[in-house]
Amino acid sequence: MRFDIITLFPELFAPLLTSGITRRAYESGLVDVRLWNPRDHAEGNYRRVDDRSFGGGPGMVMLAEPLFKCLTAIRAERQEETPAPLVLFSPIGQTLNHTAVAQWSASAGAVLLCGRYEGVDQRFIDQYVDQQISLGDFVLSGGEIAAMALLDAVARLQPGVLNDEGSHQLDSFNPALDGLLDSPHYTRPEIWQDQAVPPELMSGHHVHIARWRREQSLRLTALHRPELIEQARQAGRLSRQDEAFLKQASDRSFGQHHAPSAKKL
């Protein structure tokens, strides 16, 4: 799997590629990351990569020609029969989620374009960009943070990267959790600031522990991301026991708050 990153600030990626558990993916070549600066493909003494926007307005726009030459160099080096998709991180893109990350983790990679300033010349986008991705309804100074988020999420799904091979399967949003949020976690000491670890986790009874975690997952998801509960329900992923717990928790919340609109469990 190979990701080519087009960025004006390649130095920003150094900590990502050399720190933490995910560095194993990059050092071993499981996720091959190569950095490309469009300034190296710009013309003139100043290697200009941006200019003012036609029609006026604040900010600068990334020029199409240096990006085109940079992309051409990447395509020549990759030498693929089927060109890897060119991805632009943009507010109009589809929001990145676990399903998309899982798809990318099983792919051959992509070329990731990190925009800067007011954006990229639309003609380059129209001609060469295959897909646009967003992290959410907010604007970053550039696409580098978004690219790092995608790389990190993909890297941790690669075999051998995490210490526990199955740990990512219990992450929030994972199909193994039916797309729900993960349950709370506790560690030593057993009592901290007068708060004890839930007794279910101390019981040693694996079936009871598993059920407690499932119910906590249901509770947290219904409280914070109720749309995920509905998605799991529509997909037939909630058991009768799950539905009974949700109803009981909802009824208990209703009784506590005496308000039809109360949603807390």
pLDDT digits (tens, 9 = 90+) for 218-237: 999 999 999 999 999 999 99
- Identify whether residues 140 and 199 lie together within a single domain: no
d(CA 5, CA 38): 10
For the chain, what is the radius of gyration of the CA atoms?
Answer: 23
169-197 pLDDT tens trace: 667 888 889 999 999 999 999 999 999 99
Catalytic choice (65, 152, 171, 200): 171
Contacts of 220 (CB under 8 A, 6+ apart): 180, 181, 182, 183, 184
Question: Does one domain contain both 189 and 87?
Answer: no
The residue type at 187: T
Q: Has residue 265 been placed in a domain? A: no
Please tell me whether residue 213 adopts helix, strand or coil conformation: helix
Establish whether 91 is a catalytic residue: yes
Least confident of 5-9, 31-35, 42-46, 193-197: 42-46
CA–CA separation, 66 and 63 (whole Å): 6
Instruction: Give domain status of residue 167, yes or no.
Output: no
Paired tokens of 96: 């990145």
Cα–Cα distance for residue pair 155/104, rounded to 1 Å: 10
* CATH number of the domain where residue 116 is located: 3.40.1280.10
85 is catalytic: no
Q: Which of 69, 169, 155, 73 is nearest to 109 (CA)?
A: 155
Residue 118 bears catalytic tag: yes
Separation of alpha carbons 263 and 66, rounded Å: 52
Are residues 103 and 219 located together in one domain of the fold?
A: no
Domain contains 164: no
Of the residues 27, 43, 52, 91, which is catalytic? 91
Burial 29-40 (b: 16+ CB within 10 A, else e): ebbebebbbbbe
User: What pLDDT digit, counting tens, does each position of 69-119 carry?
Assistant: 999 999 999 999 999 999 999 999 999 999 999 999 999 999 999 999 999
226: CATH: 1.10.1270.20
In the structure encoding, which two tokens stand for residue 104, read together? 């990318």
Answer whether residue 263 is part of any domain. Answer: no
Q: Of 38, 50, 66, 156, which is the active-site residue? A: 156
Burial class (CB in 10 A: 0-12, 13-18, 19+), 16: buried
Residue span of the structural domain in which 205 resides: 172-257
**β-bridge partners, 4:** 34, 111
One-letter amino acid at 254 equals F
Instruction: Answer for the pair 121, 164: CB distance below 8 angstroms, yes or no.
Output: no
Share of the chain above pLDDT 70, in %: 92
Q: Look at residue 172 in the predicted model and tell me its pLDDT.
A: 81
Evaluate whether residue 77 is within a structural domain. Answer: yes
Same domain for 79 and 31: yes
Residues 148 and 181 in one domain: no
Catalytic annotation, pick one of 39, 78, 85, 118: 118
Among residues 108, 130, 155, the one where a domain terminates is 155
